[in-house]
Amino acid sequence: MSKVERKTYELYGGDVIIEFLPNSHRYHLIKDGQELPKKKRLSGVTTFTGQIDKSTPLIIWATRLYTHTVKDMIGDTSSLTKDDVLAMLESGEIAYKEKKETAATIGDYVHKFAELYSESKNEETAYNLMLQELGEPSEDQLKRIQDGCVGFIQWINDNKAEILQAEKVVYSRKQGFVGTFDAIIQVDGKKYLADYKTGKKVYPEYYYQTSAYLHAYEEETGEKLNGAMIIVIIKEDIENKDGEIVQKAGDVVTETRSRSDCIADYKAFKGLITLKDRQRFNSKWGK
């Protein structure tokens, strides 16, 4: 049996110790003022933001992909048999799975590169460590991964962004949630908590996620930041309904949330905590 990987983090000047299991992405509280007699499982920020329904854009994406897949396979309709049609329909049905798996892998590589660059501040070092940790990508993924890496560095340079601190685990002793944000970045003299994403755009759930990270960070450090920054690295070309490319792989889309935005978003995040707690309570009664 392979050994379970564990990482421990000291927060609040050593008053809090948190254990993180990377493979299962679980957090445990080991110490809070004093060592606990038993590890306490903690809920991550994304456990609460994951309650937000994201099905509509996914359904639209999957149905469009289905249509494109079948259209590409049709060819000369005069020679199609019933078996040909059924085979095309079946291919359309599973297209979203194949696309999602490939896209997710590209996202993993690009996000890992951004993480590692934030720590090393060196492109070559970050790229080599990325390959070392995740392995060599397939040939058809390589260009999009490289586009994402180059796009991120280009954004850093264009905005003269200074990465002040890399990845950090944060924990709110008041609310009991935990999470890991990607960086503290300074742009135009202002400091922002930054979280890197790979995908197509900024989704509303990111607002609540970064506001929670910001609140926990400020709760521990006492430092007041100017707000939060969501940095989305486009991992593959995005087409409109007419098949025209409107966003290229490697482009970077950012949204800066002011401090007042984050305060309002955090109020909504606390509502998600209340909802999750109530759902747990009602689920017990349902049993």
Only one residue has tokens 């996620």, namely: 209
Of the candidates 248, 244, 253, 246, which has an alpha carbon nearest to the alpha carbon of residue 236? 248
Question: Is the distance from CB of 256 to CB of 155 less than 8 angstroms?
Answer: no
Residues 6+ apart with CB under 8 A from 67: 92
Only one residue has tokens 């095309």, namely: 88
Query: Which H helix or E strand runs over 99?
Result: helix 82-120
Quick check: 63 pLDDT over 80?
no
**pLDDT (0 to 100) of residue 56:** 61
Q: Between vectors from CA 239 to CA 135 and to CA 88, what angle results, nearest 5°?
A: 80
Where is pLDDT greater, at 196 or 284? 196
Quick check: 100 pLDDT over 80?
no
Section 13-28 average pLDDT: 94
Residue 171 DSSP SS3: strand
Percent over 70 (pLDDT), the chain: 80
Quick check: 231 pLDDT over 80?
yes
Eight-state DSSP code of residue 24: T
Ordered by start, the domain boundaries in the chain are: 1-35, 42-286
**pLDDT (0 to 100) of residue 233:** 97
Helices then strands (H, E): number in the chain?
7, 11
Q: What is the mean pLDDT of the chain?
A: 87
Binning pLDDT at 50, 70 and 90, where does residue 34 land? very high
| Burial grade of 193 (CB within 10 A; 0-12, 13-18, 19 or more) | buried
Taking the C-alpha atoms of residue 77 and residue 71, their distance in angstroms, rounded to an integer, is: 11
Residue 41 DSSP SS3: strand
Residue 203 DSSP SS3: coil
Section 205-230 average pLDDT: 98
pTM: 0.83
Residues 6+ apart with CB under 8 A from 240: 246
Query: Which H helix or E strand runs over 262?
Result: helix 259-286
**pLDDT (0 to 100) of residue 28:** 96
**pLDDT (0 to 100) of residue 161:** 98
Q: Please give the single-letter amino acid code of residue 277.
A: D
pLDDT digit string (tens) for 142-184? 999 999 999 999 999 999 999 999 999 999 999 999 999 999 9
72 C-beta neighbours (distance < 10 Å), count: 12
Taking the C-alpha atoms of residue 18 and residue 122, their distance in angstroms, rounded to an integer, is: 29
CATH annotation of 42-286 = 3.90.320
